[in-house]
Amino acid sequence: MSRRVLVTGAGSGIGRAMARGFADAGDDVVITGRRIGALRETDDGRGMTCRVADVTDEAQVSALFDAPFDVVIANAGGGGAGRLRNTTLADWNQTLAVNLTGTFLTFRAGLADMRVGGRLIAIGSTASLKGGPTIAAYAAAKHGVLGLVRSVALEVAKKGITCNAICPGFVDTPLAAQAVASVQARYGLDHDAATAMLVADNPMGRMIAPEEVVAAALFLASPAASMVNGHALSVSGGEI
């Protein structure tokens, strides 16, 4: 029997790969994001349900849960780089809103009617597990996501539900391509050298394929992971 799966931030990158991975596995997938055109591109004829919503808006998130979901993947997130002294309060609040508050709202709504065997999965980051010199707001938000996951896991354990986080390193997405281009322009490097700089913390020396993150999510959503709860699964080539 197919599961009902929600993926937030599904208009591109990891979210798009997640949505397609679960749809290709035979699940009934609902995808959400702020741009309907991007969501339709994600669907690409797979029969997903596209719902426009901003995860920082409580009412819009609540409206997504008109029926129970078996798997809820809080993927929506993002944030720019910048030193703390240059981070405005608006930058800080926006970074926490989309990464941390969005995950909170999504999980809270998802739990309301979630049945035994349900799965809550947050897409964190290696920044959930360590800091960085120019990502203070982002790392703080992603550390918060992991604290939320570990706390929720204890709340839902006796209900037969699990809550986990996937913490990938640098993933090969359009956002990564923008980062490579930015490094090229800033340091006058060619594409390969700029990419090598970005993935320097990964002992395997390459970007992570979105499908490798999807494989982790499919595992956490499977019966085989029924005793994996409150875990931060690092997909980072040994960086963490």
> pLDDT tens digit string along 38-71?
999 999 999 999 999 999 999 999 999 999 999 9
Do the strands 49-52 and 71-74 form a parallel or antiparallel pair, or are they unpaired?
Answer: unpaired
Give pTM, 2 decimals: 0.96
H/E stretch holding 6 reads strand 4-8
Identify the CA nearest to 38 among candidates 61, 72, 60, 8.
8
DSSP state letter for 172: -
Q: Is 187 a catalytic residue?
A: no
**Could you read off the pLDDT of 1-18 as tens digits, one per residue?**
789 999 999 999 999 999
Domain residues of the chain, as ranges?
Answer: 4-169+208-235, 171-207
Distance CA 75, CA 99 (A): 8
Q: CATH classification of 4-169+208-235, choosing from 3.40.50.2300, 3.20.20.60, 3.40.50.720, 3.90.1640.10? A: 3.40.50.720
What's the confidence (pLDDT) of residue 44? 97
Catalytically annotated residue among 119, 138, 183, 237: 138
